[in-house]
Amino acid sequence: KDFRNNVKPNWCPGCGDFSVQASIQRAAANVGLEPEQLAIVSGIGCSGRISGYVNCYGFHGIHGRSLPIAQGLKMANRELTVLASGGDGDGFAIGMAHTVHAIRRNIDMTYIVMDNQIYGLTKGQTSPRSGEGFKTKSTPSGSIETPLAPLEMALAAGATFVAQSFSSNLKQLTHIIEEGIKHQGFSLINVFSPCVTFNKVNTYDWFKENIVDLETIPDYDPSNRIQAMTKLMETDGMLTGIIYQNKTKPSYENLVTGFKAEGLAKQDMKLSQADFDKLVAEFK
Ligand code: SF4
């Protein structure tokens, strides 16, 4: 099971997204998937390229729309393991409405956000995750907006799996992605993934100084939603680990009625080869 392909990523040397790519590849192998059992749908941004850098099905979608595509894919073929991925601009700005509703809908899939707190692909503008006072070309006097708190938002929206990790911690990140894939519902994994080219504030060293690993908190119980919210607020959202998991809520596809248990991809469409060829010819 080799999830590496021969496409050379064109991320800048040192970009945090390399570790996310490696962690996805390792996690997929560790949970026993074959490449044809995994699909990655991505949005737009530097991180959006990841769907082409893993040996599996890949779909590079449009800006902020990886989640509706990924959810449709999962409903159509429930045997696929579906990952969606993108950056904080993609998921928490233009795609925010999809993010909130995907969280509360709880379809069985995993969403990995590569959170670098800036827009990298467009050469460094303030994102919804940039801190107050953050200076870029779009906020030359410093951002005056409050940065979004995505994990608190996810908990409030009814998330069943909320986790956070850091590109420098490959072991933890791989483990969290494995657990996200195994979780029966929607998993949100926010990854601090530094942009070494444009973000000179939230650097690897900055994260190392500010991250609070859940393993350092005695008796932390990830099934306790109130404790999860409290600890996130106490640490200004800098917790890493599996912050919250509800293992009892069934996923959307297990609750919805009126659909066949198997997705469209597994249903007999009663279409002969001749009918199929005719359809294809019509759309040529
Ligand atoms: Fe990574 Fe930033 Fe370079 Fe984009 S611009 S590839 S986010 S380091």
Q: What is residue 265's predicted lDDT score, i.e. its pLDDT?
A: 82
pLDDT in tens, 249-273: 999 998 887 766 778 788 877 888 8
Q: What is the mean pLDDT of the chain?
A: 96
Residue 275 lies in a domain: no
Enclosing domain of residue 52: 17-253
| Pocket test residue of 12, 49, 136 for ligand 1, highest count of atoms within 8 A of CB | 12
**Distance between Cα 13 and ligand 1 center (Å):** 8
- pLDDT confidence of 63, banded at 50, 70, 90? very high
Q: What is residue 256's predicted lDDT score, i.e. its pLDDT?
A: 83
The whole-number average pLDDT for the span 134-146 is 96
Residue 45 lies in a domain: yes
Q: What is residue 268's predicted lDDT score, i.e. its pLDDT?
A: 79
ipTM > 0.90 (yes/no): yes
**Distance between Cα 269 and ligand 1 center (Å):** 44
**What is the distance between the alpha carbons of residues 50 and 20, in angstroms, rounded to a whole number?**
9
Residue 280 lies in a domain: no
Amino acid type, 111: Y
Strands 239-245 and 161-166 come out as: antiparallel
**What is the distance between the alpha carbons of residues 28 and 234, in angstroms, rounded to a whole number?**
33
Q: What is residue 85's predicted lDDT score, i.e. its pLDDT?
A: 97
Q: What is residue 83's predicted lDDT score, i.e. its pLDDT?
A: 98
pLDDT in tens, 15-29: 999 999 999 999 999
Contact 195 CB / ligand 1 (< 6 Å): yes
Residue 69 lies in a domain: yes
Give the residue, by CA position, lying nearest to ligand 1 atom 1.
15
Q: What is the dihedral of CA 58, 62, 65, 69, to 10 degrees?
A: -40
pTM for the model stands at 0.95
**What is the distance between the alpha carbons of residues 84 and 60, in angstroms, rounded to a whole number?**
10
> Which atom belonging to ligand 1 lies closest to the Cα atom of 16?
1
CATH number of the domain to which 224 belongs: 3.40.50.970
- Cβ distance 145 to 133 under 8 Å? no
**What is the distance between the alpha carbons of residues 147 and 170, in angstroms, rounded to a whole number?**
26
The whole-number average pLDDT for the span 119-123 is 95
The whole-number average pLDDT for the span 229-244 is 98
Residue 1 lies in a domain: no
Q: What is residue 264's predicted lDDT score, i.e. its pLDDT?
A: 79
Q: Which residues, including other chains, have CB under 8 Å from residue 36's CB and lie 6 or more apart?
A: 56, 57
The whole-number average pLDDT for the span 161-185 is 98
> Which atom belonging to ligand 1 lies closest to the Cα atom of 199?
2
Residue 261 lies in a domain: no
- pLDDT confidence of 215, banded at 50, 70, 90? very high
- pLDDT confidence of 197, banded at 50, 70, 90? very high
**What is the distance between the alpha carbons of residues 98 and 109, in angstroms, rounded to a whole number?**
14
Residue 273 lies in a domain: no
pLDDT in tens, 30-41: 999 999 999 999
Residue 245 lies in a domain: yes
- Provide the number of structural domains found in the chain: 1
- pLDDT tops 80 at residue 118: yes
- pLDDT tops 80 at residue 185: yes
Contact 120 CB / ligand 1 (< 6 Å): yes
Contact 127 CB / ligand 1 (< 6 Å): no
**Distance between Cα 87 and ligand 1 center (Å):** 11
> Which atom belonging to ligand 1 lies closest to the Cα atom of 123?
5
**What is the distance between the alpha carbons of residues 146 and 152, in angstroms, rounded to a whole number?**
14
**What is the distance between the alpha carbons of residues 249 and 247, in angstroms, rounded to a whole number?**
6
